[in-house]
């Protein structure tokens, strides 16, 4: 009979199934996010273009994250300056601090930490909001009113991630440099002229480009993963909670995996 | 009077989720400008069935033919065009909680028509007024009661004057008086605008009051479809036991002979007029 449940696997098969579950989940994650991305691109190109919704999301992802990203950027720059001075003093290279902090902020810290902050703040909010809309049939209601929910809900959020995460990354970078400046010049009494000069000589356009490329990719990934979990949430309040948790966890994992892939593609070593 | 013309045809509809079969080959017809009420126990597949009618679900197999077009195989874009002719009243209202009640009702007009903001305002307010919720126009769904939210949801579905309206438990959670108002509204939509309706309900009084046809769904199968009188006389013991336990007064319907749609309309209009006169007294 069609209703009868399948026989559950036993013994070795059961262990194998359990062991490979996270891998299968990860593959499924990539598949569904890819599918949503494709649909979002197709629907982004079709009219109507709802600018007002995009502005709302720019405000939510960008403006509302500004203070948080600035705060984290400031402390990251300060901590990095202290640690670098501590290490570099051992071989008398503390004058390199400005350049080294700028380099690590531009290539790694700013894009990665900004993306993580956006995932924690905006990503969780998106997953919860879309999850609730799914649970209360609001997404179905959109569909019945001939409004494509991917176009109406996912596209504005995706555009906000695409544009605002790079902007926030730039803010993180500049504020982080400011933090390093405060520690280096005001607290540790380094020479401001040399500090600034090392930044100029060490930082190349390619470093800034790497930061920019990463921030764009992370911005898209974080918002897509958040939207995917909210959009396909099921199971009422519990389901929405799980969707929000998964959105943040998978966004952060995604950022680190993508960071490695992009770094190895964009960094000529050996 | 010409023969009733089928508006919606469901053919051998099967829906399987994972290893659970929810619909086992459902066949169903809804005639134009008639109301089909779908009854059945919880978990019988009623909601799944109506979600197919509006293509919120795709069938595992089988066809949903609306006005000669099989909507189960349409692309997303083609489906969006078809959907302009449908409306749905959701069980949990499904109002957008980021908008006011007015904006909820105005939403389909803003999205699907090129009407001026003034005309939109007029139409949306008129619908809210018809459902006696115009005073809630500037409130958000979180600020109003469940009964009011339901009426705003109905106003939103009606504002586009669709050809096919689907109601998922329109009277659940409403007091008896409001429930009858909703029943009247469903009737009125059909009489005034020739709307075809599919209604899921657990409210058996409402079911027998508004139905031209009743379909009973048990465990994903249609066990009976016919006029209210035919369903009451149905030989199937599961149908009989469902009707008995619902407490419907069978004698009200048992004497009726099968009617033509026009006769049914006339009968109902007379009954309602009598009720109104009685109310006025």
B90: nearest CB among A2, A137, A146: A137
Q: Which of B141, B161, B181 is the last residue of a domain?
A: B161
Q: What is the pLDDT of residue B271?
A: 67
Rounded Cα–Cα distance for residues B256 and B268 (Å): 13
Q: What is the pLDDT of residue B214?
A: 93
Q: Which of B127, B161, B195 is the last residue of a domain?
A: B161
Contact A53, A149 (CB under 8 A): no
Closest-CA residue to A135 (of A243, A34, A25):
A243
Closest-CA residue to B161 (of B200, B136, B133, B188):
B188
Per-residue confidence band for A3, with pLDDT thresholds at 50, 70 and 90: very low
**pLDDT higher than 90, residue B268:** no
**Can you spell out the DSSP letters for B70-134?**
EGGG--HHHHHHHHTTEEEE-TT----TTS-HHHHHHHHHHHH----HHHHHHHHHHHHHHTT-G
CA distance A50 to chain B (A): 10
Mutate to test the interface with A, among B43, B61, B80 (most CBs of A within 10 A): B80
Phi, psi values for residue A9, rounded to 5°: -65, 150
**pLDDT higher than 50, residue B256:** no
Q: Is B74 on the interface with A (CB under 8 A)?
A: no
- Sheet with strand B61-66: strands edge to edge: B20-31, B6-17, B61-66, B69-70
Listed ranges A23-32, A61-70, B200-209; the one with the highest mean pLDDT: A61-70
Q: Which of B161, B177, B198 is the last residue of a domain?
A: B161
Rounded Cα–Cα distance for residues B201 and B207 (Å): 7
Are residue B211 and residue B253 in the same domain, yes or no?
Answer: yes
Q: Is B56 on the interface with A (CB under 8 A)?
A: yes
Q: What is the pLDDT of residue B274?
A: 63
**β-pairing, B35-39 with B6-17?**
unpaired
Percentage of chain A exceeding pLDDT 90: 75
Which whole number is the average pLDDT over B14-18? 91
* Span B131-147, pLDDT tens digits: 888 999 999 999 998 88
Per-residue confidence band for B189, with pLDDT thresholds at 50, 70 and 90: confident
Residues in contact with A117: Cβ distance below 8 Å, sequence separation at least 6, in sequence order:
A65, A68, A69, A72, A168
Rounded Cα–Cα distance for residues A137 and B95 (Å): 8
**β-pairing, B61-66 with B69-70?**
antiparallel
Per-residue confidence band for B42, with pLDDT thresholds at 50, 70 and 90: confident
Query: What is the number of domains present in chain B?
Result: 2
Which whole number is the average pLDDT over A32-48? 92
CA distance A166 to chain B (A): 28
Are residue B181 and residue B219 in the same domain, yes or no?
Answer: yes
Rounded Cα–Cα distance for residues A228 and B224 (Å): 41
Q: Do A4 and B76 touch (CB under 8 A)?
A: no
Q: What is the pLDDT of residue A1?
A: 40
Q: What is the pLDDT of residue B197?
A: 92
Domain annotation covers residue B116: yes
Residues of A in contact with B24 (CB under 8 A): 2
Q: What is the pLDDT of residue B278?
A: 66
Domain annotation covers residue B92: no
Phi, psi values for residue B195, rounded to 5°: -75, 135
Contact A235, A242 (CB under 8 A): yes
Are residue B181 and residue B255 in the same domain, yes or no?
Answer: yes
Residues of B in contact with A136 (CB under 8 A): 92-94, 97
Rounded Cα–Cα distance for residues B40 and B179 (Å): 19
Q: What is the CATH number of the domain that holds B216?
A: 3.40.50.300
Q: Do B94 and A141 touch (CB under 8 A)?
A: yes
Q: Is A138 on the interface with B (CB under 8 A)?
A: yes
Mutate to test the interface with B, among A6, A36, A56, A138 (most CBs of B within 10 A): A138
Q: What is the pLDDT of residue A104?
A: 94
Q: Is A148 on the interface with B (CB under 8 A)?
A: yes
* Span B65-98, pLDDT tens digits: 998 889 988 887 888 888 888 889 998 889 999 9
The residue that leads in pLDDT, A7 or B62, is B62
The residue that leads in pLDDT, A94 or A270, is A94
Q: Is B54 on the interface with A (CB under 8 A)?
A: yes
Q: What is the pLDDT of residue B188?
A: 82
Tokens linked to B273: 């007029």
Q: What is the pLDDT of residue A64?
A: 95
**β-pairing, B6-17 with B61-66?**
antiparallel
Nearest CA in chain A to B95: A138
Q: Where are the domains of chain A?
A: 63-227+236-253
3-state secondary structure at position B40: coil
Which whole number is the average pLDDT over A89-107? 90
Percentage of chain B exceeding pLDDT 90: 37
CA distance A14 to chain B (A): 19
Which whole number is the average pLDDT over A234-251? 92
Per-residue confidence band for B281, with pLDDT thresholds at 50, 70 and 90: low
* Span B200-213, pLDDT tens digits: 988 888 888 889 99
Domain annotation covers residue B1: no
**pLDDT higher than 50, residue A246:** yes
Tokens linked to B43: 């978990």
Residues in contact with A128: Cβ distance below 8 Å, sequence separation at least 6, in sequence order:
A230, A240, A243, A244
Q: Is B170 on the interface with A (CB under 8 A)?
A: no
What is the average pLDDT value for chain B, to the nearest integer? 85
Are residue B135 and residue B234 in the same domain, yes or no?
Answer: no
Q: What is the pLDDT of residue B251?
A: 61
Which whole number is the average pLDDT over B264-275? 63
3-state secondary structure at position B18: coil
Give the DSSP H/E element, type plus range, for residue B273.
helix B261-280
Are residue B193 and residue B219 in the same domain, yes or no?
Answer: yes
CA distances from A41 to A44, A150, A224 (A): 5, 10, 11
Residues of B in contact with A5 (CB under 8 A): 19
Q: What is the pLDDT of residue A164?
A: 97
Residues in contact with A135: Cβ distance below 8 Å, sequence separation at least 6, in sequence order:
A233, A234, A235, A236, A237, A239, A240
**pLDDT higher than 70, residue A5:** no
ipTM of the prediction: 0.80
Domain of B109 in residue numbering reads as: 98-161
Are residue B239 and residue B271 in the same domain, yes or no?
Answer: yes
| 8-state DSSP, A65 | G
Nearest CA in chain A to B158: A145
* Span B229-246, pLDDT tens digits: 888 888 888 888 888 887
Percentage of chain A exceeding pLDDT 70: 96
**pLDDT higher than 60, residue B258:** no
Residues of B in contact with A140 (CB under 8 A): 51, 56, 88, 90, 94
Mutate to test the interface with A, among B44, B51, B56, B58 (most CBs of A within 10 A): B56
Per-residue confidence band for B260, with pLDDT thresholds at 50, 70 and 90: low
A3: nearest CB among B21, B51, B97: B21
| 8-state DSSP, A247 | H
Return the C-alpha torsion angle A254, A258, A259, A262, nearest 10: -170
Tokens linked to A43: 């629907």
Phi, psi values for residue B102, rounded to 5°: -60, -50
Domain annotation covers residue B14: yes
Rounded Cα–Cα distance for residues A214 and A117 (Å): 15
Q: Do B84 and A146 touch (CB under 8 A)?
A: yes
**Can you spell out the DSSP letters for B166-213?**
EEESTTTTS-HHHHHHHHHHHHHHHHHH--EEEEE-S-HHHHHHH-SE
Q: Do B19 and A138 touch (CB under 8 A)?
A: no
Phi, psi values for residue B7, rounded to 5°: -100, -45
| 8-state DSSP, A119 | I
**pLDDT higher than 80, residue B24:** yes
Q: What is the pLDDT of residue B261?
A: 56
* Span A157-195, pLDDT tens digits: 999 999 999 999 999 999 999 999 999 999 888 899 999
CA distance A7 to chain B (A): 11
Q: Do B80 and A146 touch (CB under 8 A)?
A: yes
Rounded Cα–Cα distance for residues A115 and A202 (Å): 25
Are residue B190 and residue B130 in the same domain, yes or no?
Answer: no
* Span B156-165, pLDDT tens digits: 998 988 899 9
Q: Do A136 and B97 touch (CB under 8 A)?
A: yes
Residues in contact with B274: Cβ distance below 8 Å, sequence separation at least 6, in sequence order:
none
Are residue B180 and residue B271 in the same domain, yes or no?
Answer: yes
Phi, psi values for residue B189, rounded to 5°: -60, -40
Q: Is A144 on the interface with B (CB under 8 A)?
A: yes
Q: Is A51 on the interface with B (CB under 8 A)?
A: no
CA distance B21 to chain A (A): 6
Q: What is the pLDDT of residue A138?
A: 95
Instruction: Quote the radius of gyration of chain B (alpha carbons, Å).
Output: 19
Are residue B242 and residue B194 in the same domain, yes or no?
Answer: yes
**pLDDT higher than 60, residue B255:** no
Domain annotation covers residue B90: no
Question: Angle A110-118/A66-88 helices, nearest 10 degrees?
Answer: 150
**pLDDT higher than 60, residue B16:** yes
Q: What is the pLDDT of residue B102?
A: 96
Q: Is A143 on the interface with B (CB under 8 A)?
A: yes
Q: What is the pLDDT of residue A133?
A: 95
**pLDDT higher than 50, residue B254:** no
Counted residue by residue, chain B has a size of: 281
């Amino acid at each position: 009979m069609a209703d009868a449940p399948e026989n559950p696997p036993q013994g070795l098969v059961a262990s194998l199934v359990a062991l490979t579950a996270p891998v299968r989940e990860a593959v499924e994650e990539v598949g569904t996010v890819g599918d949503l991305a494709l649909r979002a691109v197709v629907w982004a190109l079709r009219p109507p273009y709802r600018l007002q919704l995009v502005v709302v999301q720019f405000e939510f992802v960008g403006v509302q994250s500004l203070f948080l990203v600035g705060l984290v950027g400031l402390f990251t720059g300060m901590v990095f300056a202290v640690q670098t001075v501590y290490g570099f003093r051992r071989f008398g290279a503390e004058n390199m601090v400005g350049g080294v902090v700028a380099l690590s902020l531009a290539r790694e810290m700013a894009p990665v930490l900004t993306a993580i902050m956006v995932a924690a703040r905006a990503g969780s909010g998106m997953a919860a909001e879309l999850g609730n809309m799914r649970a209360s049939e609001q997404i179905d209601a959109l569909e019945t009113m001939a409004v494509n929910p991917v176009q109406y809900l996912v596209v504005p959020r995706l555009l906000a991630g695409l544009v605002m995460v790079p902007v926030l990354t730039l803010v993180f970078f500049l504020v982080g440099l400011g933090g390093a400046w405060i520690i280096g010049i005001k607290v540790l009494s380094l020479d401001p002229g040399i500090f600034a000069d090392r930044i100029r000589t060490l930082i190349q356009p390619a470093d800034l480009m790497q930061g920019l490329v990463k921030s764009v990719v992370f911005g898209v990934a974080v918002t897509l993963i958040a939207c995917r979990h909210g959009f396909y949430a099921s199971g009422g309040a519990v389901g929405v909670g799980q969707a929000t948790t998964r959105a943040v966890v998978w966004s952060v994992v995604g950022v680190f995996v993508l960071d490695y892939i992009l770094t190895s593609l964009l960094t000529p070593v050996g | 009077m010409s023969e009733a013309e089928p508006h919606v045809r469901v053919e051998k509809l099967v829906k399987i989720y994972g290893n659970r079969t929810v619909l086992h080959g459902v066949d169903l017809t809804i005639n134009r400008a008639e109301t089909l009420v779908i009854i059945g126990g919880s978990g019988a597949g009623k909601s799944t069935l109506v979600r197919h009618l509006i293509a919120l679900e795709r069938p595992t197999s089988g066809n949903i033919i609306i006005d000669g077009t099989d909507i189960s195989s349409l692309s997303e874009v083609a489906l969006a065009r078809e959907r302009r002719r449908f409306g749905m009243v959701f069980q949990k209202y499904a109002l957008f909680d980021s908008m006011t009640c007015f904006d909820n009702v105005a939403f389909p007009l803003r999205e699907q028509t090129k009407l001026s903001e003034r005309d939109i305002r007029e139409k949306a307010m008129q619908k809210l007024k018809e459902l006696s919720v115009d005073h809630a126009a500037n409130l958000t769904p979180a600020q109003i009661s469940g009964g009011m939210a339901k009426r705003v949801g109905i106003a939103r579905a009606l504002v586009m004057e669709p050809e096919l309206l689907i109601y998922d438990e329109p009277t659940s959670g409403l007091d008896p008086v409001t429930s009858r108002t909703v029943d009247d509204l469903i009737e009125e939509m059909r009489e005034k605008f020739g709307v075809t309706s599919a209604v899921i309900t657990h409210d058996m009084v409402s079911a027998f009051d508004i139905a031209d046809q009743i379909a009973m769904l048990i465990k994903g199968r249609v066990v009976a479809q016919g006029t209210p009188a035919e369903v009451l006389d149905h030989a199937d013991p599961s149908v009989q036991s469902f009707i008995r336990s619902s407490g419907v007064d069978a004698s009200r319907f048992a004497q009726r002979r099968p009617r033509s749609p026009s006769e049914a309309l006339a009968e109902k209009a007379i009954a309602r007029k009598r009720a109104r006169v009685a109310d006025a007294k």
